[in-house]
Amino acid sequence: MKRCIIGIDEVGRGSLAGPVIAVASQIIDDSFTVQDSKKYPNEQSRVHAFHIVQKCVKYSVGHVTVQEIDHYNIHRASLIAMQRAVYSFPFDTKCDYEILVDGNTPIQIHKPFKVRAIVKGDQKEKCISSSSVIAKVIRDNIMNNLCSVFPQYGFSKHKGYGTKYHKQAILSHGITCYHRRTFNPIKNSLLLCCNA
C-alpha cells in the first residue's frame, strides 16, 4: 500500500476575534516551494503562494466558531478544528496515511492512521507549510469580510489580533458577536462596561 502524508496546521489561535481555521493537506505535485505563512511579508504574497499551493495539494478545511472557542477553551477548540479538517479530507483507500500535526500535541482521531506532532512543523514539513498558507488565506478572507460589516474595528488590518488599534476600537465601540469573550482583553473590556 502506498504511504501518504497529510500535514495539518491551524491559524487564528491567538486572535481576539474570529474563528480558528485548520487545514489538512496532502502534496500531489512536489514541484513547488513553500514556506510557512508567517514567512510571507504581506497578504498579497500569501495569496500568491496560496494559488501555487492550491494546484499542488489535496486539502480540506475545519473550523471552530467563536462560541465554540469560548465554550471549550482555545487549546481544545484548536484541536477540534484540526480533527474536523481530517474528517472532511478526501482519503484514498489505496493509501496508508501518516498525519503530521504542527505543534506538540497530536490530535486524537477515530481512524487507523499514525499521528505525529512536530514542533515547528510548519518550518520543517512541506505539507504542514502548505496547510499553514491555505489556512491563513482562508481566515484572512473571513476577517476581511467581517471588516465590511464592522468597519470601525479594522479587521482587515489586524485580522482580529490584539493590536493597539483593535484594543482601542473595543474600548470605543464595545465588542461584536465575533469577539472571544473568554480572552482577557475582552473580559476586561466587559468588566469596564459593567462597572461604568
Determine, yes or no, domain membership for 142. Answer: yes
pLDDT at 191: 53
Q: What is the mean pLDDT of residues 190-194?
A: 53
Determine, yes or no, domain membership for 178. Answer: no
d(CA 100, CA 172): 42
Q: Is 140 annotated as a binding residue?
A: no
Cβ atoms within 10 Å, residue 134: 28
What is the tens place of the pLDDT at every residue in 60-79? 999 999 999 999 999 999 99
pTM higher than 0.85 for the full model? yes
Does residue 192 register a pLDDT over 80?
Answer: no
Does residue 195 register a pLDDT over 70?
Answer: no
Determine, yes or no, domain membership for 193. Answer: no
Does residue 194 register a pLDDT over 90?
Answer: no
pLDDT at 190: 65
Determine, yes or no, domain membership for 190. Answer: no
**How many degrees, rounded to 5, is the angle at CA 126 between CA 123 and CA 127?**
115
Cell numbers linked to 160: 482580529
Secondary element (H or E) of residue 8: strand 2-11
Work out whether strand 95-102 and strand 2-11 pair parallel, antiparallel, or are unpaired. parallel
Q: What is the mean pLDDT of residues 97-106?
A: 96
What is the DSSP-derived secondary structure letter of residue 116?
Answer: E
Q: Is 102 annotated as a binding residue?
A: yes
Q: Cell 482601542 maps to which residue?
A: 168
Q: Is 96 annotated as a binding residue?
A: no
DSSP H helical segments within the chain, as ranges? 43-54, 66-72, 74-87, 121-124, 126-149, 155-158, 164-173, 184-195
Q: Is residue 187 very low, low, confident or very high in pLDDT (cuts 50, 70, 90)?
A: confident
Determine, yes or no, domain membership for 127. Answer: yes
Q: What is the mean pLDDT of residues 91-105?
A: 94
Supply the CATH number for residue 98's domain. Answer: 3.30.420.10
Q: What is the mean pLDDT of residues 144-161?
A: 97
Determine, yes or no, domain membership for 175. Answer: no
Instruction: Print the domain residue range for 46.
Output: 2-148
Determine, yes or no, domain membership for 161. Answer: no
- How many folded domains does the chain comprise? 1
Q: What is the mean pLDDT of residues 80-104?
A: 96
What is the tens place of the pLDDT at every residue in 136-151? 999 999 999 999 999 9
Determine, yes or no, domain membership for 186. Answer: no
